[in-house]
Amino acid sequence: MITAELSSIAELIQKQREFFQTGKTKDIAFRLEKLRTLKQAIIENETAILQALQADLHKPEFESYITEIVVIKDIDYAIKNLYSWTKPKKSEVSLELFNYSAKIYPEPVGLVLIIGAWNYPFNLIIAPLVGAIAAGNCSILKPSEIAPATSSLLAKMMAKYFDPEFITVVEGGVEASQKLLAEKFDHILFTGGTAVGKIVMEAAAKHLTPVTLELGGKSPCIVDSEINLEHTIRRITWGKFINAGQTCIAPDYLLVDKKIKPDLINGLKKTITEFYGETPYNSADYARIISKKHCERLIKLLDKGEIVVGGENKVEERYIAPTIIDQVSLTDPVMQEEIFGPILPVIEYTDITEAIALINSRPKPLALYLFSQNKSLQQRVLQKTSSGGVCLNDTMMHFGVSSLPFGGVGDSGMGNYHGKAGFDTFSHDKSVLRNSFWLDLKWRYAPYKDKLAFLKRLIK
């Protein structure tokens, strides 16, 4: 395994810059080859990836496929569209510049740093990497040390399939991240919490490095009375408790129309049992909390409110049962921070205005969910709220659509990636204006006498 030593990070960055300067990464055939290599690496290491995710998060094989291995779809999408993405785009010019032509050339920014998160430790490294490769950059990857099995596997995979001058992995904890952030990159993409996101942005500012921050927040889920209750309950249960709730876009809390709240809660209880059995601890389909520390943090959130289902926990085994809490106050700890675990508070409303006002009183979330068949209500929520993304009558699924940009707004992040958005994030749009020699009008040259009136007519 070739993993960069902390003492050699500056040297590694220099080698990547030298490789980038050769121009090889700008070749479209080179990019396509490396994208295909990345796909092949995932296919050939599928079993090892599944085992690593099981070791880190007790992640069921199905969930590993649908949330991690599925990144192959992003690779396929990039391969299919790369020629159109890289093609210079014509741009309009005004009438007085009739003898000019304008084009926009996307070019790679250079060397990028991708810092991943532990909750989806494979996908959240590979998905941004797809955009970086497609755009023609060299990349340094920093997986989360909190998911050590996946981090180690990523280091081995990248060392086997790619030259370190093009892509390499730096493993380690805070010290490794600090050393990386002390260096100059051409773009940094970070996935994680808001507090660390601020540290990343502060470090990047010293080098005037642009950043993409994929953070999180308390993503609300509004449940109107005009719904298919059965479908709604299944989709919420799945979106909340997949990966034991450790998802940045998981429904963080429910805002439920008072008229259907009892039926919804009863349905959620039954569906949790349907999904994970009477004792979720014994279910092969239910993941675990990433660490004892995070488990202990989550257990403290259970002190307030009425637990209507779940609440059982085993800290030593990083287990917390799927839990629903009723009678929650907005001042309770569970409503003061992103939960990032299998705990779902339920808050009722009598008028949609209340729900919208509550959402707008808080930092802008990474995702917003609305279950309603009422089209006018859908439009009202879309127009009156701001969030990184929205999913109507479902949860989480928008993340898996390669053609949709994924990212936050405000406290939930800045910038986006996936598909063309990922290509654009790691590209610079270079504007090129071309003139010809066949004609040279003298209206702009000195002396300016008697030319101002003509200029005013052009402008006005």
415: left (phi over 0), alpha (psi -120 to 50) or beta: left
Residue where the block lists tokens 């942005």: 201
Question: Which residues in 64-158 belong to E strands, given as ranges?
Answer: 89-91, 101-108, 111-115, 138-142
- Alpha helices in 136-173, H assignment, sequence order: 148-161
Which pair of tokens denotes residue 287? Answer: 């993941």
Residue 138 known to be catalytic: no
Identify the DSSP state of 447.
P
CA trace torsion 297, 239, 399, 68 (10° rounding): 70
Nearest to 190, CA basis, from 209, 224, 215 = 215
Residue 214 known to be catalytic: yes
Q: Could you tell me which residues come within 8 angstroms of residue 402 by beta carbon, excluding any fewer than 6 positions away?
A: 73, 74, 77, 418, 419
Q: What angle do CA 285, 249, 267 make, to 5 degrees?
A: 55
Which pair of tokens denotes residue 149? Answer: 């099995």
Nearest to 143, CA basis, from 161, 162, 169, 167 = 169
Q: Could you tell me which residues come within 8 angstroms of residue 190 by beta carbon, excluding any fewer than 6 positions away?
A: 115, 196, 197, 200, 211, 212, 213, 214
Task: List phi, psi (to 5°) of 312.
Answer: -65, 145
Question: Angle at which helices 28-44 and 123-135 pack, to 10 degrees?
Answer: 160
Catalytic residue among 214, 221, 348, 391: 214
Which pair of tokens denotes residue 408? Answer: 């936050």
Q: Could you tell me which residues come within 8 angstroms of residue 95 by beta carbon, excluding any fewer than 6 positions away?
A: none
State the chain's maximal CA–CA distance in angstroms: 90
Catalytic residue among 248, 338, 348, 391: 248
Question: Angle at which helices 261-276 and 229-241 pack, to 10 degrees?
Answer: 60
- Provide the annotated active-site residues: 214, 248
